[in-house]
Structure 1
Amino acid sequence: MKVGRISKLSAYARAESHLVQRTGYGGFVTVCGCLLALVLFWSELHSFFGPAKLRTELGVDLSREETLRMTFDVTFPSLPCAVLSLDVQDVSGESAGDSSLALNGEIHKYRLTPQGKRIGLSEYIPPKRDIRFGSFVLARPMEEVNNMNQEMDAHEGCHVLGWLDVRRVAGNFHFTIHSQNFMMLKKTQQSIQEAIEHRAFDMNTNSLQISADTTGINVSHHIHSISFGSSFPGMVNPLSGYHRIVTEESGTFKYFLKVVPSKYKRVVGRDLNTNQYSVTEYFSPVHKGQQMMPAVWFMYDMSPILVTVREARFSFGHLLVRLCAVIGGVFAVTGMTDRAVHKSDLPSQYLLSEWVA
């Protein structure tokens, strides 16, 4: 008696077996529904066990770190290592060159042939200088001067890579030829000799006028990578693989980088503090007669915005709910499809039954 009352509440009424009619199109819809359910089932499993989804949040950077790790990897196919130098400056007034940067990082230079292949296995090591004369031009050892001119005549290149710890303020680092090195080149020495022979003095400043041509300094470069910290999945460094070739006239390339502090939060494991950046580019040509040295500048500035990238995975219970929704949804859709076909054109079921059979 109690079972009979409860059975009246059942939402799953069952017909007698002799009243149930199986049709060909019903079997066809069932097979299609099962295949669809398997595809959706596999898609949900792949989404659950696959790479985590990334969610981005914005906030204010409250960190008080004093230094910023800067990593670079750049190739200059037309500038030898003997004349190429790296300088770093910031808004606080601090500046450093090749000789002093080694205290706050590592710099490696490798000589390249005109075809871009390395010369030897070891890195380039500049000759030692007499510290009594500092950076005085005429105090350069003849070995260093000869190396500069030989490498320039051989059209050698230089591969520069390394890392530096700089202050976390706006600043720049740039690759160029120091004026001291430029003065030691044969073409410059010839210009000085000609100016002395013709007594080309400026009447206003009473200084020697040297018509040194800097347009022949080719600062073509290939940027393998520029980064300000470790990378995380989905992170893009816009300058990686970027290159610029000087074809007609040389000049100064300036890259303006906006460094954005970023935090990557993993589901499992430690959080990663790093930096992303955006970049804009500007080129300033150098014409003959201008007293300006071609160079490649990277000018960076810090953003006050903190970008938080968070890995997001739904729970196992969420997976079960989605699987049940997939199976139930496919079952409901196939049932509605079967009823719609049955009511729309009843005689066609016999034709489809014979075709499926």
Structure 2
Amino acid sequence: MAHLFPAHPSMSRRDANRRRANRERMRVARNSETQDDRDVRLAADAERHQHRRALESIEENGRRRAANSQHMELQRANESVDESIRRRAANSRQMQLRRTNETSMERERRLLDNADRQVRRRSNAVARDEERGRNAQRQLALRARETSTDRHRRQVLARDAAVRRADQLRMASAGVARRAAEWPLPHYLGPMDVECSNCGAKHFAQARISSNGHSFNACCNFGRVSIRMFEMFPTEIQSLLEGQDERCKHFRAMIRNYNSVLAMASMTATVDTPSGVGPYCFRIHGQVYHSTGALRPLPGQPSSFAQIYIFDTEEAANELAGRPVNRECRRDIFVQLFNVMQRDNIFAQSYRMMDGVVREEQERARQENRQHIPVKMVFEKKRH
């Protein structure tokens, strides 16, 4: 089935919801505990972790420390000022409790460990200065070989960093604390100005397969895929996509909602969500299916997908705008889009005509006092 905009499948979040519920239960339980309960719990946790760490290998110890460091850095970057104060106060109480309960041998070992850390820290400072000198030499060599695009990228990043530092100083002088997570990390790829020699799509220079080539895979599979451009693009849709008034901006902001309600078929596939950090993405295994149901919904059920196209424009707009998921959408845009689909889309016209054929058959069966004959509609793909 074809529809006006590309469809997007919805993903299940069952595991995430379960983890969120567990965190909420843990938060409620800890909010109700007294300070003595908290100190006892932390001491028991520390003893349990100490026993577990005594059994781990050197590799396991290194992986655990690296993961803990990354987790702690992320957690502290996202905490507020009040959360930071509470954390430091809790750490102070925990440290006092631990030192009060330590034996003379444990205290002596702690002081020796602290002395060793100080020695390593001073040695690391010397190594750090040497590394900075080597980095400076590498930077000079890199800048001597950089292209104009590389130089422009470096200057943009340096300018952004300077603006952020100035903003941080200004906020600090005003007594306003900012969290590190609020500052975006820019990643500049240069201008998107390299055109594909086959279809004309623009790409970043780094997306080229070869350093001097102008043929790309992502857009047209090196010229093997040719998509016919719209010869008569609907003016109503073009104005919504290109206009700058509030109505057009609203349409582009909510375009996924408008797209989903106009889809004629549901999309199903076997979806795998990769683990780890990074932008949300998913993999599809095997075949992707587009499924459509009966012409009319079951009694008491709302219309879905192609079933909406048996209505007239006003009924369809009321049905779509009345759905809770579309509470921020505009009814007049539903009217406009539905009219375009009924006018220009052969499948929407076929569903409307199919409803008329079914009604005629049902009326004839009633007049002739017989069971109505099931009516089916088949879409056939032309093969040349």
- TM-score category of the 2 structures, normalised to the smaller one: under 0.3
Provide the TM-score with structure 1 as the length reference.
0.17
Work out which structure has the larger RCO, using CA pairs closer than 8 Å and 6 or more positions apart in sequence: 1
- Normalized per residue, the structure richer in helix is 2
Provide the TM-score with structure 2 as the length reference.
0.16
Which has more radius of gyration?
Answer: 1
